[in-house]
Structure 1
Amino acid sequence: MIDRGSEWRRWEPHIHAPGTVLNNQFGGSDPWETYLQTLEALTPKIEAIGVTDYYITETYEEVVRHHRLGRLPNVQLIFPNVEMRLDVAARTGFVNVHLVVSPEDPNHLTELRRILSRLQFNAHGDRYDCTREELIRLGRRADPSIADDSAALRHGATQFKVNFARLKDILGESDWAKHNIVVAVAGGADDGTSGVRQAADATIRQEIERFAHVIFSSSAAQREFWLGLRIKTVEELRKDYNGCKPCLHGSDAHDATLVGQPMLDRFSWIKGALTFDALRQACIDPDGRAYVGSAPPLHALPSQVVSEVTLTDAPWATTPTIPLNPGLVAIIGARGSGKTALADMIAAGCDAITGWSGDANVSPSFLVRARPLLDQAKVRLTWGGGDTVSRCLDGSDANGPFSYPRARYLSQQFVEELCSSQGASEGLIQEVERVIFEAHREDQRDGATDFQELLQSRTMRFQQAQRREVEAIAAISDRIAVELEKESVVAGLVLQTGQKRELIKNYTADLAKLIVKGSEAQANRHAQLNQVAQGLTTKIQNFQNQRRIFLTLQDEVTNMRSAKSPEMLRQVQARYPTSGLSAPQWDDFLLIYKGDVDKALAGYITWAEQEVAKLQGVLPPPGDPNAPLIADTDDLSTVQLARLKAEMTRLEAIIGADVAVRQQYTALSGRISQETTLLKTLEEKLTDAQAAAGRRKTLQTEREASYGQVIGAIISEQAELTTLYAPLLTRLRSSSGTLRKLGFAVTRLVDAGAWGEFAEEKLIDRRKSGPFSGRGSLIKLADAELKPAWERGDASQIQAAMNTFVTKYWKDFLAHAPYAPAQKIEYRAWLKQFAHWLYSTDHISVRYEIEYDRVDIRKLSPGTRGIVLLLLYLALDEGDDRPLIIDQPEENLDPKSVFDELVGLFVEAKRKRQVIIVTHNANLVVNTDADQIIIADAGPHPAGGLPPITYIAGGLEDGAIRKSVCDILEGGEMAFRERARRLRVRLER
Structure 2
Amino acid sequence: MVNNSGSEWRKWDFHVHTPYSILNNNYGFDPYTDVDEKKFDEFVQKLFLKALECNIQAIGITDYFVIDGYKRIKECYLECPAKMETLFPNEEIRKQVEKIYIFPNIEVRLNTFVGEKANAVNYHIIFSDSLSAQIIEENFLHRLTFQQDAGDDKPLTKYNIEEYGKSIRENNGNKGSDFLIGLKHVTVSSENILEILRSNAFGGKYFITVPVDEDLSAISWKGRDYSSRKNIYQQCHFYMTSNAGTASWALANVEKEERIREFGSIKPCIWGSDAHEYKRMFKPADNKYCWIKAEPTFDGLRQILYEPEARVCIQKEVPDSKKDYLVIDSVEIVHDDFFKQVIPLNSGLNTIIGGRSSGKSILLGCIARLCGSEKMIKEQNQEYDSYIDDIVSKSALYWKDGLEPQKRKIDFFPQGYIIDFASKNKGENQRKELIEPLLREEQQYCDGLDVLQDFYSTHTGILHTQYSRFCVLRQECRELKEKLDGYGSKAGIESEIHKIENQIKALRETMTDKLDEAQEKLFEAQKLEIATLEYQIEKANEDIRRLQFPSVRDVFSDVALDIDGVSESVMVLVDDAFKAVVDTSSKEWILRLDGIIGELKDKVTVARNSINSIKSDSNFVKAERLFEKNKEYQDLSKSLSEEQGKMKLIIDTEQILTDKIIQTGQCLQELVDKHVEFYQKDKEFCDMVNMQHGDISITARLTFKSEIYQGLVESYFHGRAKNNYGIFDYHFTDLQTYKKHIKTVMNNLLCEKCQYTLKRSTTIDKVAEELITQNFFSIEYDIQYQGDNLNSMSEGKKSFVILRLLLDFSKNNYPILIDQPEDDLDNRAIYHELVQYLRDKKGVRQIILVTHNPNIVVGADAEEVIVANQNGIHNENPESKKFCYRTGALEESFNNEKQECILYQYGIREHVCEILEGGKDAFRIREQKYNLSE
Task: Tell me the TM-score range normalised by the shorter chain.
Answer: 0.7 to 0.9
Matched, 1:145 2:171: yes
What does residue range 473-872 of structure 1 map to in structure 2 within 5 Å? 474=467, 501-502=494-495, 504-506=497-499, 508-509=501-502, 529=523, 532-555=526-549, 558-562=550-554, 564-567=555-558, 569-571=559-561, 580-583=573-576, 585-590=578-583, 591-592=585-586, 593=589, 595=591, 597-598=593-594, 601=597, 604-605=600-601, 608=604, 611-612=607-608, 615=611, 636=619, 639=620, 647-651=626-630, 653=631, 662=632, 670-682=638-650, 714=682, 722=689, 729=691, 733=693, 736=694, 740-741=695-696, 743-751=697-705, 754=708, 773-774=725-726, 776-777=728-729, 779-780=730-731, 783-786=732-735, 805=740, 819-820=752-753, 842-844=775-777, 846=779, 863=796, 866-867=799-800, 870-871=803-804
Residue deviations 1:486-523 (CA, integer Å, cap 9, x gap)? 9999xx9xx97666555544555566677786769679
The DSSP-based 3-state class of the residue aligned with 1:548 is helix
- Cα distance change on mapping 1:279 and 1:813 into 2, 3 Å: closer
Shift of 1:280: 0.7
Moved more, 342-351 or 574-583: 574-583
**Separation in structure 1 between the aligned mates of residue 278 and residue 602 of structure 2, nearest angstrom:** 115
TM-score by length of 2: 0.75
Residue deviations 1:520-573 (CA, integer Å, cap 9, x gap)? 967978898566534533432332233222222222xx21233x3222x21577
Letter in 2 for 1:581: V
The DSSP-based 3-state class of the residue aligned with 2:825 is coil
**Separation in structure 2 between the aligned mates of residue 919 and residue 176 of structure 1, nearest angstrom:** 38
Cα RMSD for the two superposed structures: 5.6
**Paired residue for 2:243?**
219
Shift of 1:929: 1.8
**Separation in structure 1 between the aligned mates of residue 780 and residue 290 of structure 2, nearest angstrom:** 52
Matched, 1:954 2:888: yes
- Cα distance change on mapping 1:85 and 1:487 into 2, 3 Å: farther
The DSSP-based 3-state class of the residue aligned with 1:962 is helix
**Paired residue for 1:292?**
314
Residue deviations 1:676-723 (CA, integer Å, cap 9, x gap)? 44445555566778899998998899788867877665556667x85x
The correspondence for 1:69, drawn from 80, 84, 92, is 80
Matched, 1:927 2:859: yes
Matched, 1:186 2:211: yes
Letter in 2 for 1:975: A
Letter in 2 for 1:969: L
Matched, 1:32 2:40: yes
Matched, 1:970 2:917: yes
- Cα distance change on mapping 1:468 and 1:934 into 2, 3 Å: closer
**Separation in structure 2 between the aligned mates of residue 313 and residue 767 of structure 1, nearest angstrom:** 73
**Separation in structure 1 between the aligned mates of residue 359 and residue 754 of structure 2, nearest angstrom:** 82
**Separation in structure 2 between the aligned mates of residue 594 and residue 645 of structure 1, nearest angstrom:** 45
**Separation in structure 1 between the aligned mates of residue 880 and residue 100 of structure 2, nearest angstrom:** 42
Residue deviations 1:307-357 (CA, integer Å, cap 9, x gap)? 55555573x545645444444332211112232343345456555566599
Shift of 1:596: 5.4
The DSSP-based 3-state class of the residue aligned with 1:41 is helix
**Separation in structure 2 between the aligned mates of residue 223 and residue 915 of structure 1, nearest angstrom:** 28
**Paired residue for 1:394?**
none
The DSSP-based 3-state class of the residue aligned with 2:171 is coil
TM-score by length of 1: 0.71
**Paired residue for 2:93?**
none
Residue deviations 1:745-771 (CA, integer Å, cap 9, x gap)? 3443433675587679869999678xx
**Paired residue for 1:790?**
none
**Paired residue for 2:90?**
none
**Separation in structure 1 between the aligned mates of residue 765 and residue 241 of structure 2, nearest angstrom:** 83
Matched, 1:412 2:414: yes
What does residue range 97-496 of structure 1 map to in structure 2 within 5 Å? 97-105=123-131, 109=135, 113=139, 117=143, 124=150, 145=171, 166=191, 170=195, 179-188=204-213, 190-193=214-217, 196=220, 205=229, 208-227=232-251, 232=254, 244-298=266-320, 300-301=322-323, 307=329, 309-310=331-332, 314=336, 317-318=338-339, 320-347=341-368, 350=371, 363=384, 367=388, 378-379=394-395, 384=400, 404-406=406-408, 408=410, 410=412, 412=414, 415=417, 419=421, 421-422=423-424, 439=441, 459=452, 466=459, 470=463, 474=467
Shift of 1:80: 3.9
What does residue range 11-22 of structure 1 map to in structure 2 within 5 Å? 11-20=12-21, 22=23
- Identify unmatched segments of 5+ residues in structure 1: 390-403, 446-450, 620-629, 654-661, 787-797, 824-828
Letter in 1 for 2:890: L
- Cα distance change on mapping 1:583 and 1:255 into 2, 3 Å: closer
Aligned residues: 876
Q: 1:319–1:949: 8 Å Cα contact kept in structure 2?
A: no
- Identify unmatched segments of 5+ residues in structure 2: 85-96, 757-761, 894-906
- Cα distance change on mapping 1:672 and 1:802 into 2, 3 Å: farther
The DSSP-based 3-state class of the residue aligned with 1:917 is strand
**Separation in structure 2 between the aligned mates of residue 518 and residue 949 of structure 1, nearest angstrom:** 129
Residue deviations 1:423-472 (CA, integer Å, cap 9, x gap)? 699999668666665x57xxx79xxxxx99x7775556655885697579
**Paired residue for 1:917?**
849
- Cα distance change on mapping 1:511 and 1:866 into 2, 3 Å: same
**Separation in structure 1 between the aligned mates of residue 509 and residue 755 of structure 2, nearest angstrom:** 47
Q: 1:533–1:644: 8 Å Cα contact kept in structure 2?
A: no
**Separation in structure 2 between the aligned mates of residue 575 and residue 910 of structure 1, nearest angstrom:** 34
**Separation in structure 2 between the aligned mates of residue 575 and residue 104 of structure 1, nearest angstrom:** 64
Shift of 1:265: 3.7
The correspondence for 2:60, drawn from 50, 53, 62, is 50
Shift of 1:185: 2.2
The DSSP-based 3-state class of the residue aligned with 2:579 is helix
- Cα distance change on mapping 1:349 and 1:241 into 2, 3 Å: same
Residue deviations 1:245-303 (CA, integer Å, cap 9, x gap)? 33221222334543444334433332322321111112212333223345533455556
Q: 1:299–1:912: 8 Å Cα contact kept in structure 2?
A: yes
Shift of 1:968: 0.7
